[in-house]
Amino acid sequence: MKRSGLSGEIALLVRNLVIVFSHAFFTSCSIIQRQH
C-alpha cells in the first residue's frame, strides 16, 4: 500500500512539473516572439 501510494504521489509530482515547465516554455516563447 505504501509503495503504490508513493508512486502515485511521484506521478502527480511529475505531471505537475511537466505542466509547469510546458506553461513556462510557451510563455517564454510568446514573449520572445513579441520582442522580435
- Render pLDDT for 1-36 as a digit per residue (tens, 0 to 9): 566 788 999 999 999 999 999 999 999 999 998 887
- Per-residue pLDDT at 34: 86
In the block, residue with C-alpha cell 505537475? 16
DSSP string, 1-36: -HHHHHHHHHHHHHHHHHHHHHHHHHHHHHHHHHH-
- Per-residue pLDDT at 23: 97
3-32 as b/e, with b when 16 or more CB fall inside 10 Å?
Answer: eeeeeeeeeeeeeeeeeeeeeeeeeeeeee
User: What's the pTM?
Assistant: 0.60
- Per-residue pLDDT at 5: 83
- Per-residue pLDDT at 1: 53
Q: What residue ranges do the domains of the chain occupy?
A: 1-36
